Amino acid sequence: MKSLKVALVQHSNTSDTTHNLEKTISGIKEAAAKGAKLVVLQELHRSLYFCQTENVDMFDLAESIPGPTSDKLAEVAKSLNIVIVSSLFEKRAAGIYHNTAVVFESDGEIAGIYRKMHIPDDPGFYEKFYFTPGDLGFEPIDTSVGKLGVLVCWDQWFPEAARLMAMAGAELLIYPTAIGWDPTDEDDEQQRQLDAWVIVQRAHAVANGVPVIACNRVGHEPDPSEQSEGIRFWGNSFVTGPQGEILAHAGDSEEEILIADIDMSRSENVRRIWPYLRDRRIDHYADLSKIYRK
């Protein structure tokens, strides 16, 4: 497959999980009607971003995999003959929950899962309370549209994760995401944060010679504790080619089905002129396994 049409479903969420899932599935169907063979969904697309506070009742949102939501998405993937990358709150066992990406093959089977490895714990993003760190490592998932290096949100800031996926043969790096602004931040600070988010992921494309897909949500979600002004998710879902070139870029406030055509043959051509993997000095990288060198 030389050319792959991909779609990103960027939308806002409410407390009505049924409504959210219906909106997601509607977006998937619209994307398929436009010819997309790979559809990427935003992080935790079934619910509000519940990690703004620590509340044990939120664990009730979690589901087993396979489970009701994954079964429904599997049916959609099969009926449309497409590959779907979803993001679900997984209940693995009592007291063990994961932030898990599930990849559905075009025949409706689960091609594989990825459990979020890097778990943040910051004001408004209290994910360590909810998610056990992933235990599956950085392994690409084989599908009919290619070998997908699926990572999740906070993972997108870590070059090591992108590199390990690329070293294992990932042909695309994919990031379901839920990130936004503190509404009280100054405009300049908000712009710096957004620019950093885009730059670091474009850099993963450049450093590894592979396309990058990042799908984020939009809309304001209030803080249930009323201790802050909540989060305004900044959208800006985008797709790059293997030199970090922007192929498609969504806005910061509107729901959107973002479509892009990816030339799957370009990565090899780019790696021939920029052979970073060839020139890595792995004999001097042992200190990367340390938290800090002092």
Per-residue tokens: 33: 């009607």
Tokens of 108: 């409706």
pLDDT at res. 113 = 98
Of 37, 51, 127, 153, catalytic = 153
**SS3 assignment, position 125:** strand
Q: Report the candidate in 124, 130, 228, 240 with the shortest Cα–Cα distance to residue 174.
A: 240
Q: How many CB atoms lie within 10 A of CB 132?
A: 17
153 part of the active site: yes
DSSP string, 187-204: HHHHHHHHHHHHHHHHHH
pLDDT at 294: 84
CB of 3 closer than 8 Å to CB of 266: no
**d(Cα 137, Cα 161) in Å, to the nearest integer?**
9
Q: Cα(111)–Cα(106) distance, rounded to whole angstroms?
A: 9
Q: What are residue 84's DSSP bridge partners?
A: 39, 104
What does the chain come to in residues? 294
The confidence score (pLDDT) of residue 1 equals: 61
**Residue 274: what pLDDT?**
97
- Give me the pLDDT at residue 117, please: 98
> How many angstroms from the chain centroid is the CA of residue 21?
17
What are the tens digits of pLDDT across the range 52-83? 999 999 999 999 999 999 999 999 999 999 99
- pLDDT under 70 in the chain at which residues? 1
Q: Which domains does the chain have, with CATH numbers?
A: 3-282 (3.60.110.10)
Cα 62 to its chain centre, rounded Å, is: 18
Query: pLDDT by residue (tens digit) across 105-158?
Result: 999 999 999 999 999 999 999 999 999 999 999 999 999 999 999 999 999 999
| Catalytic-labelled residue, pool 105, 116, 215, 256 | 116
Q: Which of 43, 127, 221, 256 is catalytic?
A: 43
What is the per-residue burial (b if ≥16 Cβ within 10 Å, else e) of 157-187?
Answer: bbeebbbbbbeeebbbbbbbbbbbbeeeeee
User: Does the pTM exceed 0.75?
Assistant: yes
